[in-house]
Amino acid sequence: MAKLDPFRSPRARDEFIAKYDAVVADWPVECEERDLMTEFGATHVIVSGPESAPPLILLHGAAATATMWRPVIQALSATYRCFCVDTIIEGNKSIASRRVLGKAKLVTWLRQVFAALDIEQARVAGLSYGGWLAANLALQAPELVKRLVLLCPAATFAPITLDFYRGVFSASLTRSPDRARVFVQWLSSTPDVVTDPAADLIVTALLSNKPVPTGLTPPTVFSDDMLRRIAAPTTVLIGDREVIYRGGPHAAVARAQRLMPDVRTHLIPGANHMLTVDCPRQLADELLAALD
């Protein structure tokens, strides 16, 4: 069990969870926190919105946690029953008891999350690593996904730049707060982005988590055939200042547009990778239009 703990130490975990709880305490709408049991451990979920509303599964980016949806949750939860899921493979409030290694196991884990929530089918949106997870779910378990929204999905359409990996490992291996802040700022077009509580939590995650979470499955580029087999109506939203893709954001969007059978794509002006912070109002509008 100790090998599966993503945190460097109990103290690091306590400091991280205290900041996490502070973000949830400032949640803009009424919410509840749940822990769902799966064969891989306890999956933590922040739930908002009317119980009778259609379900919306929200999957966060690496190190970002379920709290990253705070800037858009008020708009989304007015229409949907929102389930912000803490990915079980890294440091957050989910607690892994078994490795979730590989695409198939990740889908099995998400199937069990759906079952624990008594959801047969849902709209699914994911950002960065969460976007890759969402695309993988739509490919391998299409019956679960009613509509799909991919927000600057990690890899998926194009390889990730070496600068991204340099930034992650430079911050995590050196445990340098300054390098962590510089890296998070590099991902955002918002000046002084780390003053945002959710962005500051990413900095804390980079410093408090082990450099490589046990069982992490790196995001991969989908083949042409895989992209053609994603049948769910899909919207791809990427900032026009996005820095994670080799070849840039225009190439990623063009590949999605060329290969996916039912897709709408849009480059958001002025936004980088951290869409929920860089353009929360526009993103909320885009999400609501995509999910309808």
Q: Which of 77-91, 117-131, 165-179, 205-219 has the lowest mean pLDDT?
A: 205-219
Question: What's the pLDDT at 206?
Answer: 92
- What DSSP character marks residue 209? B
Question: What's the pLDDT at 184?
Answer: 97
Question: Residue 17, exposed/middle/buried by CB under 10 A (0-12, 13-18, 19+)?
Answer: middle
- pLDDT at 1 exceeding the cut of 60: no
CA angle 191, 196, 202 (to 5 degrees): 105
pTM across the whole model:
0.96
Question: What's the pLDDT at 149?
Answer: 98
Q: Say what angle helices 197-208 and 10-25 make with each other, to 10 degrees.
A: 170
C-alpha torsion 191→64→242→110, nearest 10: -160
Using an 8 Å Cβ cutoff, are 100 and 109 in contact? yes
Q: In whole angstroms, give the CA distance from residue 91 to residue 51.
A: 28
Amino acid at 50: P
Question: What's the pLDDT at 107?
Answer: 97
- pLDDT at 289 exceeding the cut of 50: yes
The secondary structure element, H or E, covering residue 22 is helix 10-25
Question: Residue 291, exposed/middle/buried by CB under 10 A (0-12, 13-18, 19+)?
Answer: buried
Q: What is the pLDDT of residues 211-252, one digit of tens each?
A: 766 567 999 999 999 999 999 999 999 999 999 999 999 999
Whether the CA torsion 291, 112, 153, 51 is positive or negative: it is positive
Q: Could you tell me the domains of the chain?
A: 2-291 (3.40.50.1820)
What percent of the chain is predicted at pLDDT more than 70?
A: 98
Q: Both tokens of residue 289?
A: 């239009």
- pLDDT at 169 exceeding the cut of 90: no
Place of tokens 């999400």: 287
Q: In whole angstroms, give the CA distance from residue 160 to residue 261.
A: 24
Q: In whole angstroms, give the CA distance from residue 202 to residue 179.
A: 12
Q: In whole angstroms, give the CA distance from residue 61 to residue 154.
A: 8
Question: What's the pLDDT at 171?
Answer: 87
Q: In whole angstroms, give the CA distance from residue 176 to residue 139.
A: 38
What percent of the chain is predicted at pLDDT more than 90?
A: 88
Radius of gyration in angstroms for the set of CA atoms belonging to the chain, rounded to a whole number? 17
pLDDT band of residue 5 (cuts 50, 70, 90) is confident
Question: What's the pLDDT at 276?
Answer: 97
Catalytic residues: 273
Question: What's the pLDDT at 3?
Answer: 65
Q: In whole angstroms, give the CA distance from residue 158 to residue 281.
A: 27
Question: What's the pLDDT at 173?
Answer: 84
DSSP 3-state of 279: coil
Place of tokens 């996904």: 145
- pLDDT at 137 exceeding the cut of 90: yes
Mean per-residue pLDDT of the chain: 95
Question: What's the pLDDT at 215?
Answer: 63
- pLDDT at 119 exceeding the cut of 50: yes
Strand 55-59, strand 81-85: pairing: parallel
Question: What's the pLDDT at 172?
Answer: 83
Q: What is the pLDDT of residues 44-80, one digit of tens each?
A: 999 999 999 999 999 999 999 999 999 999 999 999 9
Amino acid at 119: I
Using an 8 Å Cβ cutoff, are 41 and 97 in contact? yes
